[in-house]
Amino acid sequence: MSLYTFFGCLLLAYGPILSIFFLYIAPNAQYVLLMVSSAFFCLIALLLSSVIWYFAKSAQSMHFVSITYSVAIQEICRWGFYLLLNKAEAGLNTVSANPKSPFNRSVFALVSGFGYALMSSLVGYISLLVESIGPGVIMCPSCPKATLYFISAITTSLFSLMHIFWMMISFEGFSELPLMKGWLKIAWVIASHYGASFAVS
Q: CA 116 to CA 66: how far, in whole Å? A: 19
- pLDDT, tens digit (0-9, with 9 covering 90-100), for 24-73: 999 988 889 899 999 999 999 999 999 998 888 777 778 888 899 999 99
H or E element that contains 46? helix 29-55
- Report which of residues 132 and 152 the model is more confident about: 152
- pLDDT, tens digit (0-9, with 9 covering 90-100), for 84-135: 988 887 777 776 666 666 667 788 899 999 999 999 999 888 888 888 787 7
Q: CA 131 to CA 150: how far, in whole Å? A: 12
Q: CA 72 to CA 53: how far, in whole Å? A: 14
Amino acid at 42: C
What pTM was computed for the model?
Answer: 0.88
